[in-house]
Structures are given as structure tokens and as C-alpha cells.
Amino acid sequence: MDVRQLRALTAVGDHRSFSAAAKALGTVQSNVSTHVSRLERELGLVLVDRATNELTAEGLAVVARARRIDAELQALESDVASLKDVVTGSVRIGVIGTVARWLVPPLVEEVHEAAPEVHLTILDATTSSLILQLVNGQVDLAVVNTPVEDPEVRVTALFDEDCMVVAPLGHPLSGRAEVTPDDVAAHDLLLPARGTAFRAELDADAAAAGIELRAKAEIDGMRLLASLAFSGFGAAILPASAAPEWLGGDWQRIVLHGFRQRSVGLARRRRGLPSAAERAVTTTVGEVIERVAPSQPGIRVRGR
């Protein structure tokens, strides 16, 4: 068993095609097929269903381990390079869309300045998607909505942000400076999907206030949810970062009383040690948030 075999299998799992896997790895299809076949013979298992090119249950288990092995190898290279005072390596960081709006631009610039040899890949996705990819080894770090219940993940708190109502102009709630739980309970709202941490907190706070939130639609993706409110499809309850003041349009931010703040943190896998490159990016994320977050209305950096 060698790294090439594991990387070939992982690529087939990612791209669901031997030819696409070969293209992604910069090789030919016959090499990928050979590596996967040899790995199957060594393990005595069928790892890829040749009729569908989907990984078998055994293949999924092997790929989960292979991602961790590959991450540790990259971390080893990064750590050795750091001993020569050169931070190098690749870091894949996921960021929830609402935070990505203001965090990613300065983060890219400052990582490039502080560690120009680090290759940074950024993924914009929902918390539920990012946690799954983090556990599976597809991303190294993730800025996510908390709390995170997965025992495989460790989270460091970054900041808290107020909840608000975003209402299109002309909506019954527009024109008001602030609203209460009873006010929002009287209207059908655009809400986060059930099963998300933010929605669970909204429902818990609504129940504590003796009301029930009525959903016009449920959206798993805060940035899409905000876009629908901005476009006039209804009023939505959103965290402050979803509707920054510099983003204009025919809609209004309204202070919402009676609902807790949303918390955001930086997540990483519990297993394994972070590479020098990951440590550099983690430090830079904290520095950017310390500097930029206080200028975002409704956001409070932890520890301040």
C-alpha cells in the first residue's frame, strides 16, 4: 500500500469517474485503475463498484482514513519547512457565507502577506456541510455557526452577533425601528431549515417567549436566505453579519428583541496536530476578526 494508491482511490470517490480522477491527478486513466486495483488486491476488498464508479462501503471507510493520512503527510512537509523559518503548505478553509462577505477579502490579503508560500483554498458553504467535510478531511478548518455537537470536532469561539429582522420595503414590519417576538409571530417568515443550529436556537427562544414562528419557506443556507429577503420574497430573521450596513437595497434592518445572539467559531478536527500552515492561517483568522469584526454592526468579538 502506498500514498499513490490512496490518492487514486480518493480521487475516484471525489470525481466518480476513473477518467475524471486521472485528469484531477494529472495522470492517465490506466494509472488510476492500476493503483485502485492493486489496493483492492492488497486489502482483499472491492473498493469501487465498476458498474457505477461509486465507492463501496469499504471504499468509503478507506477514503476516510486516506484523507487523514494525506493531511498528516502535508502537515509533516509544512512542519519541516517551518523549521527553516519558511511556512509552506496547503490549507483548505470553509467559511459560512454570511461571514465570508467581510472576512475572506482581508483574510486572503493577510495570509498572503504573512505566509506567501501557503496555498489557501476557501470554500463557501453551510455549517452542516462544512462540519461533514471537516470530519471527512475535505477541509482543514471551518468558520461555522456554533454550537457544534460532533465529537470529532473542536471549536474555538470567535464572535457573537445579534439577531435582526430583514424586511423588504412595503412589508408590514418595514418602517419599524424594533420588533418583539409577538410582532414576528404575526407574520409568515423566511426561516433557516429545521435541524440547523441557528433554527434550533430561534425555535427555543420563540417557545420561551410563548410564541411559534411561522415559516413561509425554510432555507438551508443563510446567504441564500438573506438574498431572498433582499429580493422582496418576505421578511427573515437573520444574524447581523447576513445584512451588513454597506449592503444597500430596498429592504430594512430591524432590531429584534427577545432572541439570543448567534455564536460563530473556528472548527478543526480533534485528531491530529495542525500543520504549521494551519497554525498560520488560524492565527491570521483571529487577527482579522479582532481588527475587522468590531466595525460590523451587531457583532462582538469574544474576549472584548
Taking only the tens place, the pLDDT of each residue in 88-141 is 888 999 999 889 988 999 999 999 998 898 999 999 998 889 999 998 888 999
Asked if the structure places residue 94 within a domain, the reply is yes
* Whether 120 and 173 share a structural domain: no
The pLDDT-based confidence of 267 (bands split at 50, 70, 90) is very high
pTM: 0.70
Q: Give the chain's domain count.
A: 3
pLDDT greater than 80 at residue 180: yes
The pLDDT-based confidence of 277 (bands split at 50, 70, 90) is confident
Amino acid 71: pLDDT: 76
**Average pLDDT of the chain?**
89
Query: Domain with 115 in it: what CATH number?
Result: 3.40.190.10
Query: Domain with 235 in it: what CATH number?
Result: 3.40.190.290
Average pLDDT over residues 230-240: 94
Q: How many whole angstroms separate alpha carbon 36 and alpha carbon 57?
A: 15
Asked if the structure places residue 76 within a domain, the reply is no
Regarding beta strands 188-192 and 153-161, do their DSSP bridges make them parallel or antiparallel, or are they unpaired?
Answer: unpaired
* Whether 101 and 26 share a structural domain: no
Asked if the structure places residue 75 within a domain, the reply is no
The number of angstroms, rounded, from the C-alpha of 76 to the middle of its chain's C-alpha atoms is: 25
The grid coordinates of residue 39 equal 489496493
* Whether 275 and 156 share a structural domain: yes
Q: How many CB atoms lie within 10 A of CB 64?
A: 14
Asked if the structure places residue 35 within a domain, the reply is yes
Amino acid 270: pLDDT: 86
Q: What do you get for the CA distance between the two ends of the chain, in Å?
A: 50
Asked if the structure places residue 79 within a domain, the reply is no
Angle CA 57–51–7, to nearest 5: 55
Alpha carbon dihedral 67, 73, 74, 79, in 10-degree steps, equals 140
Asked if the structure places residue 151 within a domain, the reply is yes
Amino acid 79: pLDDT: 66
Burial of 78 (0-12, 13-18, 19+ CB in 10 A): buried
Do residues 267 and 285 touch, judged by C-beta distance below 8 A? Answer: no
Amino acid 98: pLDDT: 87
Query: Domain with 58 in it: what CATH number?
Result: 1.10.10.10
* Whether 175 and 289 share a structural domain: no
Asked if the structure places residue 115 within a domain, the reply is yes
- Distances in Å between the Cα of 159 and the Cα atoms of 79, 162, 215, 247, 288 are 29, 10, 28, 21, 12
Asked if the structure places residue 107 within a domain, the reply is yes
pLDDT greater than 70 at residue 80: no
Taking only the tens place, the pLDDT of each residue in 145-164 is 888 889 989 999 999 999 99
Amino acid 84: pLDDT: 55
The grid coordinates of residue 145 equal 455557526
pLDDT greater than 80 at residue 44: yes
| Residue-range definition of the domain harbouring residue 13 | 3-67
